[in-house]
Amino acid sequence: MWEGDTLVEVSFCTSRIFANAVTQPLKSLNAYRRATIAAIVSLLLLTAVNVIAP
C-alpha cells in the first residue's frame, strides 16, 4: 500500500501534469489567469484522487 505522504506527492505531481496539459492551449490568457486555472484544476484532481483512493 501507498504511504500517505507518498500518495499525496504522486497525486499532486500527476495533477500538476494534467493541469499543465489543460492550460497549454490557453496561451492567449495572461500568466496569472493560467496559474489560477492550473491551481483550481490541480486541487480538483487532487481531491478526486484522494476520494477515489483514500
Which pairs with CB-CB distance under 8 Å and at least 24 residues apart come from 38-44? 41/15, 42/12, 42/15, 42/16, 42/18, 43/15
pLDDT at position 8 is 67
- Grid cell of 5 as nine digits: 505522504
Q: Which residues of the chain have pLDDT under 50?
A: 1-2
The domain segmentation of the chain, as residue ranges, is: 4-52
pTM of the shown model: 0.42
pLDDT at position 42 is 82
Helix (H) or strand (E) holding 47: helix 31-52
